[in-house]
Amino acid sequence: MKKIIILAAIGLFSTNAVAMSRHDSQSLTCSAVHEKMAQDGAVVLRHPSHAHPDMMMYDRYVTNSVACIGQGAMGTVSVPTQDDPNCKVKACVFATGKGPNKNH
C-alpha cells in the first residue's frame, strides 16, 4: 500500500512539473514573477547561475510549502529579474545539516 501511495505522489509531482509554466526570469519584473507564481502556484524559471553566470539554471519556484512535500522544505532564494538582480522567491530546498543546500 505504501508503494502505491509513493508512486501516486511521484506521478502527481511529475505531472505538475510538466504542466508548470516556464519563463526567463530576466525578461520579467520581480512583481511579474510573483504574479505568475500566485496564478499558477509554481513556475519554472530559467536564469543564470549565481555561482557560474555562463551556466543557465532551470528551477521550480513555489508559493506553498505543500508543493515541497517529499522535496525538502520551502526556503527563500533569489533570482535575477529585469528590475531586481536579487528578487526573493520561495523554492523547495534540501537541508544538509549545514542549512539549505540551494546554490544558484
User: pLDDT by residue (tens digit) across 21-70?
Assistant: 899 999 999 999 999 999 999 999 999 988 898 999 999 999 999 989 88
Question: Quick check: pTM over 0.85?
Answer: no
Amino acid at 33: V
pLDDT at 15: 45
Q: Which three cell numbers stand for residue 34?
A: 510573483
pLDDT at 21: 80
pLDDT at 89: 97
Given a cut of 60, is residue 8 above it in pLDDT?
no
Given a cut of 90, is residue 7 above it in pLDDT?
no
Beta bridge partners of 56: 48
Alpha carbons 73 and 3: distance in angstroms, whole number? 22
pLDDT at 53: 87
Q: Which three cell numbers stand for residue 41?
A: 502556484
